[in-house]
Amino acid sequence: MAVVEVRDLVKQFDGGKAHGKVHAVDGVNLTAADGEYLVLLGPSGCGKTTLLRTIAGLEEPSSGDVLIDDHVVTGLPPRARKIAMVFQSYALYPHKTVQANIVFPLRAAKMERAERDRKALWAAGLLGIEHLLARKPRQLSGGERQRVALARALVREPQVFLLDEPLSNLDAKLRASARDELKSFQDEVGTTTVYVTHDQIEAMGLGDRIAVLSKGRIRQVGPPAEIYDDPADTFVATFIGTPPMNLVPRDGHLVGFRPEHLLPVENVRSAERTLMPLAVDRIEYLSGDRHVYGTVTGIGEATRVVARLPSTVETPIAAGETHDFAVHPDRLRFFAADEEGLRTDPIRLGVG
């Protein structure tokens, strides 16, 4: 196993005449601890893949360093880094069996046959694909193919796994089960893993910690619950969560609260609660929850928000009506109403 670290990492691309230099990675400092599952999460184009490829040695940084176990590996080729990378489109050899696909990197490394076969069986056992060893890739499901690709990476016994959206080719249901499998596999093997995704559910489910990226920069690094409950800025607050955090402008601040914390006032037990009349215009039923859309007043500028009510909240609510809602004061978050949108100290809203 190993510690992976990047220091002041910058990667620029030539974006052509029209765009000049593209700062794909713009000064990133990050450490994945020994055995940690670190997820890089961010929207398309934020630089996740470039960061991962730079750690792998597939891209050379413009400046900064990559370290594995305190050794600078910047400039070393990928094969000298004890890493294994699994891409979004994990190309298996279509005419080779699963077994032959898995041992391919070992053959290339001129390992003896008996040793190769022993390793293939070990990796296949870990991933639960022993019964598929004689098949060809076209005879496998998407999830099974993905496990073969992982097994092929695993036989090299890497110190670090780098995974780039390995589940993105799977349908939603398969993705969920493949995610579970990846997680229990990680718990068992404990290899340091850096995992790239734009899918926050995947990130929340898999990551020991999540690094949220935007425009080549890290906005926040922390365990999933911390990223969700205490977002460092408005980017993280609105990128994480479906629907995202509500943000209501008030006196140079933004007052933030998650949809599940905006509730009919009788469900909020606090002497400090502030009344927020909600003029309801639309209600959606999703997985047993009511998503109530409307315009809220009472705490700042009139703003469109959404409330997410669990089925235990039985207050009758109809579109076209106004209801008194509130948020428990412990659930309120405050941000600067400028471009950076950083977390600020709480402001008093007044009791209503």
Binding to ligand ATP, residues 47-76 (CB under 6 A): 47-50
| H helix or E strand, kind and range, residue 9 | strand 4-14
42 binds ligand ATP (CB under 6 A): yes
44 binds ligand ATP (CB under 6 A): yes
3-state secondary structure of 295: strand
3-state secondary structure of 271: coil
46 binds ligand ATP (CB under 6 A): yes
List C-alpha distances in Å: 245 to 33, 238, 333. 30, 5, 10
Q: Where are the alpha helices (DSSP H) in 190-318?
A: 200-206, 224-229, 234-239
219 binds ligand ATP (CB under 6 A): no
3-state secondary structure of 337: coil
The nearest distance, CB 317 to ligand ATP, in angstroms, is: 38
Unique residue bearing structure tokens 């559910």: 201
With CB under 6 A as the contact rule, the residue among 3, 7, 27, 45 that binds ligand ATP is 45
Residue (25 or 182) nearer to ligand ATP, CB: 25
The nearest distance, CB 198 to ligand ATP, in angstroms, is: 5
Cα dihedral across residues 48, 51, 53, 56: positive or negative: negative
Residue 204: count of CB within 10 angstroms of its CB: 18
3-state secondary structure of 64: strand
Buried b (16+ CB within 10 A) or exposed e, 149-174: bbbbbbbbebbbbbbbbbbbebeeeb
Interface stretch with ligand ATP, choices 46-54, 187-195, 301-309, 340-348 (CB under 6 A): 46-54
Residue (10 or 22) nearer to ligand ATP, CB: 22
The nearest distance, CB 74 to ligand ATP, in angstroms, is: 18
13 binds ligand ATP (CB under 6 A): yes
Residue (49 or 101) nearer to ligand ATP, CB: 49
18 binds ligand ATP (CB under 6 A): no
Binding to ligand ATP, residues 296-325 (CB under 6 A): none
Are residues 30 and 186 in contact, defined by beta-carbon separation less than 8 angstroms? no
Q: Is 111 exposed, middle or buried (0-12, 13-18, 19+ CB in 10 A)?
A: middle
Residue (15 or 128) nearer to ligand ATP, CB: 15
Interface stretch with ligand ATP, choices 39-47, 60-68, 171-179, 332-340 (CB under 6 A): 39-47
The nearest distance, CB 340 to ligand ATP, in angstroms, is: 20
137 binds ligand ATP (CB under 6 A): no
Please write down the long-range contacts of 237-246, taking CB distance under 8 Å and 24 or more positions apart: 237/333, 237/335, 237/341, 239/41, 239/42, 239/43, 239/200, 239/212, 239/214, 240/200, 240/212, 241/200, 242/200, 243/291, 243/306, 243/308, 245/333, 246/296, 246/303, 246/305, 246/306
The nearest distance, CB 81 to ligand ATP, in angstroms, is: 19
198 binds ligand ATP (CB under 6 A): yes
Binding mask 264-293 for ligand ATP (x = CB under 6 A): ------------------------------
Residue (46 or 237) nearer to ligand ATP, CB: 46
> What phi, psi does 181 have (nearest 5°)?
-65, -45
> What phi, psi does 58 have (nearest 5°)?
-85, -20
With CB under 6 A as the contact rule, the residue among 22, 111, 275, 336 that binds ligand ATP is 22
Residue (87 or 104) nearer to ligand ATP, CB: 87
145 binds ligand ATP (CB under 6 A): no
Number of residues that bind ligand ATP (CB under 6 A): 13
Residue (49 or 99) nearer to ligand ATP, CB: 49
* List of residues contacting ligand ATP (CB under 6 A): 13, 15, 22, 24, 42, 44-50, 198
